[in-house]
Amino acid sequence: MPDMLVSLVHLPPIEPLLEKLRCEGIFIRRPNPWDATALREFIEKHFSRGWADETSIAFSHQPITAFIATHDEDIIGFGAYECTRRNFFGPTGVAEEWRGRGVGKALLLACLYGLQDMGYVYAIIGAAGPVEYYQKAVGAIVIPLDEGRGIYPLKEDPRFLSK
């Protein structure tokens, strides 16, 4: 899965999407510190422990560098940024039964606007699974010469190994 690059200069507006979701009883917000356990459990149940570990880094930042989607106070999706590496979007996911309603796009845009607020002009979507989705949603492009390796060769670089 390749990394992708997205310009944060001309992002699509998020407000119409948030309003549509609110009409369905779905709300997008930053998690509070007391949401950490519920978010971790949601991610482990629907995705993976690795993604839960990665997303937990969001709670070490102020403001928290994640957004959650809720319905009736239950978490139904999440998006994180500045967790894997600086300027990276992800991981992100929506519970299967809630997909196809715009929840994922709202989380994506909320996170990208969060990166924009931090002063970034471009963001990296790490190990993008649905390449066509990101191309259509935010105009992201595949980073050439990456060959799908992304950041993972760093763990093999002797400069980054613990002694």
Residue 163 pLDDT greater than 60, yes or no: no
What per-residue confidence (pLDDT) applies to 65? 99
Report the CATH number that the domain containing residue 82 is assigned in CATH.
Answer: 3.40.630.30
Q: What is the pTM of this model?
A: 0.91
Residue among 146, 110, 114, 116 nearest 128 (CA): 146
Confidence class of residue 154 from pLDDT cuts 50, 70 and 90? low
What per-residue confidence (pLDDT) applies to 138? 98
Name the amino acid, one letter, at 160: F
Average pLDDT estimate for 46-71:
98
Residues 6+ apart with CB under 8 A from 79: 66, 67, 89, 90, 92, 104, 107, 108, 110, 111
List phi, psi (to 5°) of 38.
Answer: -60, -40
Confidence class of residue 34 from pLDDT cuts 50, 70 and 90? very high
Question: Which range marks the domain in which residue 12 is found?
Answer: 4-160
Confidence class of residue 1 from pLDDT cuts 50, 70 and 90? confident
Residue 55 pLDDT greater than 90, yes or no: yes
Confidence class of residue 145 from pLDDT cuts 50, 70 and 90? low
What per-residue confidence (pLDDT) applies to 80? 99
H helices within the chain, ranges in order? 15-23, 36-46, 49-56, 103-117, 131-138
Counting the structural domains of the chain, the total is 1
Strand-pairing partners, residue 91, are none
